[in-house]
């Protein structure tokens, strides 16, 4: 690992780690089942289906039904991992998530595959950029965004042991590993993972933006701007303490997420700052329905890049 | 590569097809369908992405509706009384775009921009960017409720346009379709036609191995719809169904099709839901569609 937290040059699709881990969990615990919406392939569930044909419940293209069925399975003693493309899971079945899972307090893990703008040129209908806002608004629902494969697996362990209602993004956009080698666990629920102790600026990022924030910190340091990077893998409940500490110890925060600015991570950080320690901040996210383009093209389009984060930081401290 | 129309025969006057006698119309529509299939293959080749199986299965229905029956034309794209063609299975945008381009809504050459950066031709249709698109579909199960609203508006406004909605069969697993079907049956919307592209395949498997739909005609009939169960790759049969007596009810056309119709190695194979043909396979496909 280098000093800036990017562990390897290789990049990974978190869905692969997710699929392997789900089989491992299911081997150890017969309560674990998968529920999906004609998404066996896109959720990487082929191996799970072959290993546990009876424990994969594919309801067809029917997301509201899918989430309701998961609640019923939880009621019957099972631990469902609901696996579906993020936009349809979070958008189509919002009320089922609210009433059947969160309000009813069922231990269901809602796994939003290919979130953010991973579906690129399939367009805004297939982009899951509102999910963090929608899901954050629901009481009694934990919202997780693991940043790499190690975090994805560790978050799944936590999900099973906690028995909580959980919404979790599972990334498709390839990311490098950002989990420091010295961590006992790659993911600690409710805790922000901080890299560096820079005092000029705090780069607060989640999911796909974490490795970009780490790169930006490196760029800034070369220019004499010292940055710390906050990897927020639990969006809700937010680790307010670490955010407030960063606000106290730096001159400002840049918050970056692959999602809309209304109600997502940025909004959570802004509320925390406003109530506890008002600070200068710049929020980066997806600011409109995207034009046609690949995931990388769109990240570039919305300035969700190393350069975009570094530029925002320079402006903030300049 | 340049996407071309009518590479090997004389251009048809596509705007005039609607006025031909029925027997002749069916024949002309067959030719148009072949050209649309060629455009689809070339469009997907140029993007190196797309949903070729469903594009090729729904082609005959779309062509028959757009060129043979519906009163739609580029110069009337904003006419409040135009007929409405809604592609609910929005992943088959390449088929819709090919039909609209051939009908003159935008230049055929634009098909080359399909899914490319900043193109109006997104992977799913966008009515704010493409003339002739009525609804921004893509999430399955949205087209029929919109179609019901359009059919009600047609009656309320007294303008009496027709609304045709193209649905996937897997798509029918979405409950919203049946809510809309109930409304349409209840309101006797005889100006509404739902065409089910019954190719018996969805994304990952056969419909009947996932969440079975049969007996599908009975389902629609029990919701108060008139039902036509036909060969959905036969333009003459489609034409007949689209113009049949509705008996004061909405009409469901169960269009029995082959997913990938027209290209032998793509037909009826689940993996071709959104697989992209290699360059060699594109050449082969175009040869089969010559
Ligand atoms: C709400 C929603 N869930 C899932 C998907 C992903 N998806 C796209 S196409 C498809 C299969 C559609 O099957 P069918 O309706 O039979 O279409 P066709 O066979 O004509 O391609 C699925 C599951 C989606 N687009 N929308
Ligand atoms: Mg189908």
pLDDT bin (cut points 50, 70, 90) of residue A316 is very high
pTM of the model: 0.96
Q: What is the pLDDT of residue B6?
A: 59
Atom 17 in ligand 1: which residue has the minimum CA distance?
A: B168
What DSSP element (H or E) covers A78?
A: none
CA–CA separation, B221 vs A255, rounded Å? 55
Query: How many beta-carbon pairs below 8 A join chains A and B?
Result: 86
pLDDT at B12: 74
| B216: pLDDT strictly greater than 60 | yes
Handedness of CA A103, B211, B268, A44 (dihedral sign): positive
Residue A69 has pLDDT above 60, yes or no: yes
Angle at A239 between CA A234 and CA A244, to 5 degrees: 140
With the most atoms of ligand 1 within 8 angstroms of its CB, the residue from B49, B60, B124, B203 to mutate is: B203
Query: How far is it, in rounded angstroms, from Cα A35 to Cα B260?
Result: 29
Whether pLDDT at B289 is above 50: yes
Of B118, B126, B202, the CB nearest to A123: B126
Structure tokens at B203: 């994304």
Return the residue in B139, B146, B200, B275 with the most chain A beta carbons within 10 A, the one to mutate for interface testing: B139
Asked if the Cβ–Cβ distance from B117 to A293 is below 8 Å, we say yes
The pLDDT score that the predictor gives to residue A2 is: 44
On chain A, the residues whose CB falls within 8 A of the CB of B146 are none
Same fold, A11-176 and A193-317: yes
For residue B264, pLDDT over 80 is answered with yes
Average the pLDDT over B126-139 and give the result.
98
Rounded-to-5 percentages of helix, strand, coil across chain A? 40, 20, 35
Give the helix/strand (H/E) hosting A135. helix A131-136
Kindly determine whether residue B202 and residue A38, on different chains, have CB atoms separated by under 8 Å.
yes
Tens digits of residue pLDDT in A155-193: 999 999 999 999 999 999 999 999 988 888 999 999 999
Q: What pLDDT is attached to residue B98?
A: 98
Tens-digit pLDDT profile for residues B137-174: 999 999 999 999 999 999 999 999 999 999 999 999 99
CA-based nearest residue to A207, from A288, A90, A86, A97: A86
CB contact under 8 Å between B138 and A65, yes or no, is: no
d(CA B80, CA B154): 9
**B268 CA to middle of ligand 2, Å?**
10
Please tell me the distance from the alpha carbon of residue B216 to that of residue A51, in angstroms, as a whole number.
33
Residue B98 touches partner A, C-beta closer than 8 Å: no
pLDDT tens by residue, A257-287? 999 999 999 999 999 999 999 999 999 999 9
Q: What is the percentage of chain B residues whose pLDDT exceeds 70?
A: 96
State the pLDDT at residue B7: 55
Q: A30: which residues sit within 8 A by CB, 6+ positions away?
A: none
Output the CA torsion sign for B117, B119, B124, B128: positive
Helix (H, G, I), strand (E, B) or coil at A208: coil
Mean pLDDT of A292-303: 98
The pLDDT tens digits of the residues spanning B219-248 come to 999 999 999 999 999 999 999 999 999 999
Give the CATH class of B7-288.
alpha beta
Q: What is the pLDDT of residues A212-230, one digit of tens each?
A: 999 999 999 999 999 999 9
The two beta strands, A227-231 and A109-113, are unpaired
Cβ of residue A119 lying under 6 Å from some atom of ligand 1:
no
Domain ranges of chain A: 11-176, 193-317
Residue A129 has pLDDT above 50, yes or no: yes
User: Which chain B residue has the Cα nearest residue A293?
Assistant: B117
Q: Is the CB of A61 under 6 A from ligand 1?
A: yes
Predicted confidence (pLDDT) at residue B87 exceeds the cutoff of 70:
yes
Q: Is A122 on the interface with B (CB under 8 A)?
A: yes
Query: What tokens does B242 get?
Result: 């689209």
Nearest residue (CA) to ligand 1, atom 10 = B203
What residues contact residue A270 under an 8 Å CB cut-off, 6+ apart? A255, A281, A283
For residue B136, the distance in angstroms to the closest alpha carbon of chain A comes to 8
Share of chain A above pLDDT 70, in %: 99
- For residue B57, give the ligand nearest its CA: 1
CA atoms of B18 and B22, how far apart (whole Å): 9
State residue A115's pLDDT score: 98
Give, in words, the CATH class of A11-176: alpha beta
Pairing of strands A193-195, A227-231: antiparallel
Q: In this complex, do B90 and A65 lie within 8 Å of one another by their Cβ atoms?
A: no
pLDDT at A3: 45
* Reported confidence tier of residue B2, pLDDT bands at 50, 70, 90: low
Which of A42, A59, A297 shows the shortest C-beta gap to B211?
A59
Phi-psi category of A13—alpha, beta or left, where left has phi over 0 and alpha has psi -120 to 50? beta
By Cβ distance, the residue of B119, B137, B138 closest to A292 is B119
Q: In the 3-class helix/strand/coil scheme, how is chain B assigned residue by residue?
A: CCCCCCCCCCCCCHHHHHHCCHHHHHHHHHHHHHHHHHHHHHHHHHHCCCCHHHHHHHHHHHHHHHHHHCCCCHHHCCCCCCCEEEECCHHHHHHHHHHHHHCCCCCHHHHHHCCCCCCCCCCCCCCCCCCCCCCCCCCCCCHHHHHHHHHHHHHHHCCCCCEEEEEECHHHHCHHHHHHHHHHHHCCCCCEEEEEEECCECCCCEHHHCCCCCCHHHHHHHCCCEEEEEECCCHHHHHHHHCCCCCCCCEEEEEECCCCCCCCCCCCCHHHHCCCCCHHHHHHHHHHCC
The CATH number corresponding to A193-317 among 3.40.190.10, 3.40.640.10, 3.40.50.920, 3.30.9.40 equals 3.40.50.920
Phi, psi (deg, nearest 5) at residue B217: -60, -40
Note whether A122 contacts B141, CB cutoff 8 Å.
no
Mean per-residue pLDDT, B275-290 = 97
Name the residue among B63, B61, B50, B137 with its Cα closest to residue B103. Answer: B63
What's the confidence (pLDDT) of residue A65? 98
Q: Is the pLDDT of residue B8 over 70?
A: no
B45 pLDDT higher than 70: yes
Task: Identify the band that residue A4 occupies on the pLDDT scale cut at 50, 70 and 90.
Answer: low
ipTM here: 0.93
Angle at A216 between CA A212 and CA A220, to 5 degrees: 175
Per-residue pLDDT for B97 more than 80?
yes
CB B174 within 8 A of CB A65: no
- The answer to whether the peptide bond before residue B215 is cis (omega within 30 degrees of 0) is yes
Give how far Cα B40 sits from Cα of A120, B127, B193, B226, Å.
21, 20, 24, 32
């Amino acid at each position: 690992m280098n000093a800036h937290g990017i562990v390897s040059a290789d990049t990974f699709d978190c869905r692969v780690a997710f699929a392997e881990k789900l089989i491992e969990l299911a081997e150890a615990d017969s309560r674990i089942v998968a529920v999906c919406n004609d998404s066996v392939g896109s959720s990487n569930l082929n191996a799970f289906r072959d290993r546990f044909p009876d424990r994969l419940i594919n309801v067809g293209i029917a997301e509201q039904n899918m989430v309701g069925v998961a609640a019923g399975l939880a009621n019957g003693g099972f631990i469902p991992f609901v696996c579906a493309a993020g936009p349809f899971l979070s958008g189509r079945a919002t009320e089922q998530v609210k009433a059947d899972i969160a309000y009813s307090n069922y231990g269901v893990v809602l796994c939003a595959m290919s979130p953010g703008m991973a579906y690129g040129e399939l367009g805004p209908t297939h982009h899951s950029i509102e999910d963090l806002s929608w899901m954050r608004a629901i009481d009694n629902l934990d919202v997780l965004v693991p940043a790499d494969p190690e975090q994805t697996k560790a978050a799944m362990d936590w999900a099973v042991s906690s028995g909580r209602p959980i919404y979790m993004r599972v990334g498709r956009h390839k990311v490098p590993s950002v989990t420091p080698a010295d961590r006992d666990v790659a993911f600690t629920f409710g805790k922000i993972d901080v890299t560096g102790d820079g005092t000029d600026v705090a780069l607060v990022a989640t999911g796909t933006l974490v490795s970009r924030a780490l790169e930006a910190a490196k760029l800034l340091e070369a220019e004499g701007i010292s940055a710390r990077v906050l990897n927020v893998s639990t969006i809700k409940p937010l680790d307010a303490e670490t955010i407030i500490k960063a606000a106290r110890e730096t001159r400002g925060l840049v918050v970056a997420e692959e999602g809309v600015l209304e109600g997502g991570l940025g909004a959570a950080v802004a509320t925390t700052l406003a109530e506890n320690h008002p600070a200068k901040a710049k929020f980066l996210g997806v600011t409109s329905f995207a034009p046609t383009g690949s995931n990388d093209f769109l990240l570039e389009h919305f300035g969700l890049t190393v350069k975009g984060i570094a530029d925002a930081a320079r402006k903030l401290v300049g | 590569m340049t996407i071309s129309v009518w590479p090997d025969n004389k251009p048809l006057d596509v705007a005039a097809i609607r006025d031909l006698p029925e027997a002749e119309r069916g024949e002309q529509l067959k030719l148009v369908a072949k050209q649309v299939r060629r455009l689809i293959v070339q469009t997907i080749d140029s993007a190196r992405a797309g949903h070729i199986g469903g594009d090729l299965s729904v082609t005959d229905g779309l062509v028959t509706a757009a060129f043979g029956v519906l009163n739609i034309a580029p110069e009337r794209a904003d006419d409040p009384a135009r007929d409405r063609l809604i592609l609910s299975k929005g992943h088959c945008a390449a088929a819709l775009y090919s039909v609209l381009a051939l009908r003159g809504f935008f230049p055929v050459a634009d098909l080359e921009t399909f899914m490319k950066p900043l193109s109006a031709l997104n992977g799913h249709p966008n009515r704010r960017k493409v003339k002739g698109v009525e609804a921004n579909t893509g999430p399955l199960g949205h087209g029929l409720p919109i179609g019901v609203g359009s059919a009600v508006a047609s009656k309320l406004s007294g303008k009496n346009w027709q609304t045709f909605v193209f649905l996937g069969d897997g798509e029918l697993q979405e409950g919203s379709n049946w809510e809309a079907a109930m409304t349409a049956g209840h309101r006797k919307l005889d100006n509404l036609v739902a065409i089910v592209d019954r190719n018996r395949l969805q994304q990952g498997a056969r419909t009947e191995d996932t969440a079975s739909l049969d007996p599908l005609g009975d389902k629609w009939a029990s919701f108060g719809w008139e039902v036509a169960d036909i060969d959905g790759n036969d333009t003459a049969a489609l034409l007949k169904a689209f113009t049949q007596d509705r008996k004061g009810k909405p009409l469901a056309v169960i269009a029995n099709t082959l997913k990938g119709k027209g290209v032998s190695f793509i037909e009826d194979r689940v993996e071709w839901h959104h697989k992209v043909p290699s360059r060699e396979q594109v050449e082969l496909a175009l040869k089969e569609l010559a």
